C-alpha cells in the first residue's frame, strides 16, 4: 500500500467518524449512517491494500 493510499483511507475514516458524530449530535440518522459507510469503506481499503502488501512480501 502506498503512503498516499494509506493517507487517503485514514482521512476517509476520520471524515466518516466526524460525520457520524455530527449525525449523533444533530439527531440526523442519514449523516450518522453515511459516516459509518465512509468508515467501512476506509476499513475495506486498508484490508485490500494490506493483503496486497502481504502478497508482495510472499512473492519477494
Q: What is the pLDDT of residue 34?
A: 97
User: Does residue 2 or residue 41 have the better pLDDT?
Assistant: 41
Mean pLDDT value of segment 39-58? 92
Q: State the maximum Cα–Cα separation within the chain, in Å, rounded to a whole number.
A: 50
User: Does residue 4 or residue 17 have the better pLDDT?
Assistant: 17
Q: What is the pLDDT of residue 43?
A: 96
Amino acid at each position: 500500500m502506498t503512503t498516499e493510499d494509506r493517507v487517503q483511507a485514514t482521512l476517509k475514516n476520520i471524515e466518516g467518524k466526524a460525520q457520524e458524530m455530527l449525525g449523533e449530535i444533530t439527531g440526523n440518522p442519514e449523516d450518522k449512517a453515511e459516516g459509518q459507510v465512509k468508515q467501512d469503506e476506509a476499513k475495506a481499503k486498508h484490508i485490500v491494500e494490506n493483503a496486497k502488501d502481504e502478497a508482495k512480501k510472499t512473492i519477494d
